[in-house]
Amino acid sequence: MRHAQTAVLERGETFTGEFATEPYEVAWAGEARFFVQTVDGAPGTTATLTTQLSPDGLTWADADDTAPVEMATTAAGMVTWRVREFGGWLRLRGEVHGAGSGPEQGPRLRIYLVAKE
Amino acid sequence: MSVDLGDTGEAVRRGMLAAHPTLSRFSPLPRILTYDDFNAGTNGWTELIGNYDGNGNLSTVDDHMRDFRPPQLSNCTFFDTGTHGALTGTYALKLATRPYVGHTAVAIRRLTMARKGLVQLETYFTYKAEATLGGDASNNSFGGITWDGNLHPSEAQFGAFTVATDICGDGGMRYHTVMRYRNTTVDNKLDQRWVYPVVPEPTPREHLEGKAKLTYGADFTAPDPADWHAASDPMGMCFNEVPTKVNWHYLRWLIDTDARRNVELQVNDTVLDLSDVPVPVYSERYDSLENLLNFYFSVRTHSGVRNFLYLDSVLVSVDW
């Protein structure tokens, strides 16, 4: 059997502006897939989601063969994309556009990382 | 039925354990319930979360129990030397906090009791604070430690790790047994004592009933530092100077679910008699938890630097 593991990296936080998920170790995995779900939308907002890689969990570079994903976050919905040959760590760098400055004015996002041997 | 091998059977069991390349480093009770080496998965160790409403609305989860972080399978790779690897094989289970003062990461394993009696958890573990990279000279001092080529400020950036249970039976009587290595106090001074809480953990039901409301980053096991009492004198570990060297430590913790008591804790060459350590029971009874037997490990940062607890392997054994 192949080992597989789902990590919930964010569970419905409200995001405004720039953010990055916590470092997650996936050296054991050969393939992975992000799922980013808008739990509660925010009017007029979009998000840019960039896959990032790291050799040590400290220093990060954008993935060389995975384009940033643009996501509408005005209403409930979900986007997903695959990642391969990523080394030892994965995280997402994100930026929410169009949100007001208040703490509750951005979309609530749930971010899953599904890794498989 | 309980395990009674007789003298000959017990001698055979001990001989087979001694000759077993993997199990020889453990001292299990007669029946091994679980053995996890984390080279083939997380083996049921998963993120703890508080309870939520009938709509699956995670906004209803208590703030201090909504972000305990998913455990990771780590090959213990560091910026300076690359892959360290685990004690056995390549991978260890890693609990990692956020870089936020008071944040706690928790991994739990959920079982039930087929009988009551002695329960023993053994593990080979290590703990580290995340390395700091940069050019700021002030990073050479933290928590009273200044880098001198031997001691490293990283050691004072590690808060505490905890091994604990959540047990319920006899018609809803619920309690936790808890042992914590308090490396630093909440103001980042080295303490290095084993401590235990004298109050039961605040629960989601108590919050719903208006009895407890804790903030994100609160100590979910026992939020008031005054409720943690010392079970040992200061006891140094082998942190090994810098944040990127990993030395595995042995821990053996014995409890008695029949008597609802702690028994003893062994950490390398130190054995603590825990028979006088109280085990507070919830005053109210709990439904839906009959014969609950959960184990959890947690790690808490007091510095705001990410703290890590690594488990190479965990073995749970019983005398029933």
Confidence of residue B73 (pLDDT cuts 50, 70, 90): very high
Q: Could you give the ipTM of this predicted complex?
A: 0.96
DSSP conformation letters of A10-77: EEEEE--EEEEPPPEE-TT-SEEEEEEEEEE--TT-EEEEEEEEESSSSS-EE-TT---EEEE-SSSE
Confidence of residue B212 (pLDDT cuts 50, 70, 90): confident
Nearest to A28 among B73, B96, B98 (CB): B73
pLDDT at B4: 83
Q: How many whole angstroms separate alpha carbon B83 and alpha carbon A56?
A: 9
Nearest CA distance, B169 vs chain A (angstrom): 31
Residue B43 in tokens: 């083996």
Whether residue B48 contacts residue B203, with contact meaning beta carbons closer than 8 Å, is answered with no
- Asked if pLDDT for residue A5 goes beyond 80, the answer is yes
- Asked if pLDDT for residue B23 goes beyond 80, the answer is yes
- In chain B, whose CA is at the least distance from the CA of A39? B57
Q: If DSSP codes are grouped into helix, strand and coil, which group holds residue B225?
A: helix
- Asked if pLDDT for residue B279 goes beyond 60, the answer is yes
Residues 6+ apart with CB under 8 A from B57: none
CB contact under 8 A, B40 and A3: yes
Per-residue pLDDT reduced to its tens digit, B3-17: 788 999 999 999 999
CB contact under 8 A, B73 and A9: no
Whether residue B74 contacts residue A23, with contact meaning beta carbons closer than 8 Å, is answered with no
pLDDT at B206: 80
CB contact under 8 A, A24 and B67: no
- Between B18 and B208, the more confident residue is B18
- Asked if pLDDT for residue B24 goes beyond 80, the answer is yes
Per-residue pLDDT reduced to its tens digit, A23-79: 999 999 999 999 999 999 999 999 999 999 999 999 999 999 999 999 999 999 999
Interface probe, candidates A24, A40, A56, chain B, greatest B C-beta count within 10 A:
A56
- In chain B, whose CA is at the least distance from the CA of A29? B73
Instruction: Please state the rounded mean pLDDT for residues A86-101.
Output: 94
pLDDT at A13: 94
- Asked if pLDDT for residue A3 goes beyond 80, the answer is yes
- Asked if pLDDT for residue B55 goes beyond 90, the answer is yes
pLDDT at A103: 65
pLDDT at B209: 84
- The chain-wide mean pLDDT, for chain B, equals 96
CB neighbours of residue A48 within 10 Å: 14
Instruction: Please state the rounded mean pLDDT for residues B165-194.
Output: 97
CB contact under 8 A, B96 and A56: no
CB contact under 8 A, A58 and B59: no
pTM of the entire structure?
Answer: 0.97
Confidence of residue B208 (pLDDT cuts 50, 70, 90): confident
- Asked if pLDDT for residue B99 goes beyond 80, the answer is yes
- Asked if pLDDT for residue B180 goes beyond 90, the answer is yes
CA distance readout (Å), B293 to B33, B175, B274, B289 = 12, 10, 20, 9
